[in-house]
A = this chain, B = another copy of it.
């Protein structure tokens, strides 16, 4: 909530048609703000904005964060930016090394430059717990020892964070940077739980798991995530405000599968690819220290298990999500598709 005084701001949400972005859009509209969602609809879904579009304070602008000119146009009159547009999947960096850099570092630079040129000075940014690499300290606090990156995704978000902090110092911006664990809930469209549900939907008797299933992960329910973001923006007023967001729990991949199969009343045969990492750069243990955000009065309302169940309920009710997922997994063998998605440049 950029402002609780009742003053209606003009808020830009990049990635506003995406999983978390569309929830930010809804929340900001519910608070009476004018909201512009800026999204290239590559992974965002217009379906997520059906409610928002009924609100006259809402506008969807179809555009790419790699299009610096369009970004500058949409920034006119904006007072606060939620920058959530990103390549959000940590797994495929090595298949397309340029994508994370373009979407997450250069895209963030374009957003910052468009803000600077337009005199917009406040930005909230979705970073990631992957930025800690294989953390030396677990649970990992925001001021953990200087990490060594293990994924192109983490590296690209680190690049984005660095740029934001430098713009705060150099151009008197103020920023709120959120390092998320994996987020679950309504409109969730990628990640472990999505992939597992997708498999079980197609063949309930068989489940393939990357790694040995012993990787420890944290999840946070999306409404808890949006609550935390709002509270931090209200209450934290440093130049650069960095917060881990997660629950006080972690869960083994096998246990999250157990929650799912129990809920779905399935007993699939498990097939593990083996090893303690699901993919190159997979982190076998992500668990973030969240006392900093908790000190502001926030605490999550849903457990990991509840988050998983709400996610499954949502996926069950929204089969349309799998149409695109099926198409994308078909297209993933066609590398020219990926190239078409990633031809941005710094302009």
Residues of A within 8 A of B (CB): 93-94, 97-98, 101-102, 105-106, 109, 112-113, 116, 133, 136, 142-152, 154-156, 158-159, 161-163, 165-167, 169-171, 240, 242, 280-281, 344-346
Contacts and interface: CB of A to CB of B under 8 A. Distances in A.
A165 B145 contact: no
Given A143-B136, A158-B158, A101 B151 contact: no
Nearest to A239: B148
Contacts of A152: 163, 166-167, 170
A170 B97 CA distance: 9
Contact of A155 (B101, B136, B163): B163
- Give the interface SS of chain A, mostly helix, strand, loop or mixed: helix
A166 B224 CA distance: 31
Given A143-B145, A149-B165, A170 B133 contact: no
A345 B158 CA distance: 20
- This chain: how many copies in the complex? 2
Contacts of A113: 97-98
Given A142-B146, A143-B145, A145-B146, A166 B281 contact: yes
Given A109-B98, A346-B102, A155 B166 contact: yes
A162 to B, nearest CB: 3
16 contacts: A97-B112, A97-B113, A97-B116, A98-B346, A145-B145, A148-B242, A149-B165, A149-B169, A150-B165, A151-B166, A152-B163, A152-B170, A155-B163, A159-B163, A170-B280, A170-B281
Contacts of A163: 101, 149, 152, 155, 159
Given A101-B346, A113-B98, A346-B106, A158 B162 contact: yes
